Structure 1
């Protein structure tokens, strides 16, 4: 499915075909979808009655090409909540169009999902953040979108959402509050933060000048994913909660010697694996019992 361009290259028939194929292959009818970023596929370990499909076996589905992204769609249940996990997501820098990057989100919508939990790894810009912190995303800055790389470019399909969706409440306030409450119950409140996430297209990590600019703009962390998925989820009327694991400190100082690398990112995800899994498992179960008054 590698194609170039920012306009939609996927038809409603493509979405419908994939959805019907999955519904025919599994008896699971998920209400919550979890999108797992770099090294976070283990979040699906908390589910029971699992059924797994490789991306390459699903009609029209893109395929993950980045280390740390297993490339599987895992259906299962947590307590009594039916859910689906994306073990690996897709990126602009892999050569995919934003239509393809966000393809699974519209499949989830057609399958009956009403809440999406997105997770990823990001670099900490806020000086108060530490490596290993988990940031609840309260808002985002879509830098590719400023340049016209936007998943809603092209003709709008009213079957999914309106032409001009509001994004001021992209991340559910009620689900963010729930995340704080759950963290207290699980005893991991001390590693949680809340902040603004910025998406860049990648694949290179940021220059010091770019990092300083993002700090001035009010960004607390920076990464290369999830904003297109969040945008499409909001367009589809889904509730969204975002969690970003701070895997490195973004350099703001020219005298600093450390250099970030992808292996370091994966190591930190392993370090926080247990905490993240417990948090996500509790949130998947609880979010269905927690109506969103702002939705």
Structure 2
């Protein structure tokens, strides 16, 4: 799908204007994108407002099981937070500019920090299902990028640095908080592949060789656009399964959701503490 910069910018502005009207003067400062099985964090928000994606002009609709498909805006540890209960994926058939449209909307809403979360397959042989992994860096192996095309000058410059895509200060904060709360926290590199199929054992061996610790089907497009917009980013993966060829049995989305549900208490504790201290 082709978008002119002017048309796409208009869509972002109209979506942001609709959300601002629903928020009635409330101004979220932190956004959290919740991955598969991790949407329960949004239930912790108080004085919450729900805005279904289907009601927002120009928004796609999430089609993945375990994704509710709405914004939830409310208070978390005294901070005004916007949660995405469900995200959009390239494999759903959406253009990457549609996939990342919510991030640009966040920018227009005045949000300065984005916490991205996901369910991921563990590649590092030291990882176990149920681990949380702080994302230190990522690999984009898809050949795709949401910033290809006419640059949106109103949001950021064409060429920008990705040396520290995942904010160093936030990574240190997350490590310290996890240690304080006795929550095991791995660190590593997240690899993005398009999906929707899980990877082959050969692909996993290749990913391990080039330095990937976990693999998934989301997050990187959102981070690229967030950094283009100047947002600070913190990323956390929930290792919901061992990647193909590393364990016994076949991979399934049910396993992903079941493992995410099992570790959601620690996940919610960590992200809530992060939000309060950012």
Give me the TM-score of the superposition, normalised by structure 2.
0.96
1:165 to 2:160 alignment: yes
Structure 2 counterpart SS, 1:281: helix
Question: In the alignment, does 2:221 pair up with 1:228?
Answer: yes
Aligned to 1:94: 92
Partner of residue 199, structure 2: 206
**Cα offset for 1:185?**
2.1
2:268 aligned residue (266, 274, 277)? 277
Structure 2 unaligned runs (5+)? Answer: none
Q: What is the CA distance between 1:10 and its match in structure 2?
A: 5.5
Using structure 1 for the length normalisation, give the TM-score: 0.91
Alignment of 1:172-211 (within 5 A): 172-188=167-183, 191-211=184-204
- Say which of 34, 44, 47 aligns to 2:45: 47
**Which residue of 1 is the match for residue 14 of structure 2?**
17
Give the count of matched residue pairs: 277
- Residue 234 of structure 2 corresponds to residue 249 of structure 1: no
Secondary structure of residue in 1 paired with 2:80: strand
Q: CA deviation at 1:251?
A: 2.9
SS at match of 2:270: helix
Moved more, 203-212 or 44-53: 44-53
Q: CA RMSD in A?
A: 1.5
> How does 1:261-272 map onto structure 2 within 5 Å?
261-272=252-263
Whole-Å separation in 2 of the counterparts to 1:128 and 1:231: 28
Which residue in the other structure is 1:150 paired with?
145
| Deviation beyond 2 Å, 4+ runs, structure 1 | 4-10
Among 78, 81, 85, which residue is 1:80 paired with?
Answer: 78
What is the rounded CA distance, in whole Å, between the counterparts of 2:155 and 2:84 in structure 1? 20
* Structure 1 residue 273 displacement after superposition: 1.0
Alpha-carbon offset, residue 257 of structure 1? 4.0
Instruction: Give the superposition deviation at 1:7.
Output: 8.6
Deviations 1:170-216 (A, max 9, x none): 0001000000111122221xx21000000000000000111110010
State yes or no: 1:67 paired with 2:65: yes
Aligned residues of 2:189 and 2:211 also touching (Cα < 8 A): yes
How far, CA to CA, are the matches of 1:78 and 1:185 in structure 2? 19
More displaced 10-residue stretch of structure 1: 91-100 or 18-27:
18-27
More off after superposition, 87-96 vs 44-53: 44-53
Per-residue deviation, 1:252: 3.6
Q: Partner of 2:273: helix, strand, or coil? A: helix
Report deviation, 1:80: 2.4
- In the alignment, structure 1 segments of 5+ residues that lack a partner are 288-295
What residue is the counterpart of 1:291 in the other structure?
none
* Alpha-carbon distance change, 249 to 58 in structure 1, aligned in 2, over 3 angstroms: same
- Distance in 2 (CA, whole Å) between partners of 1:213 and 1:45 is 39
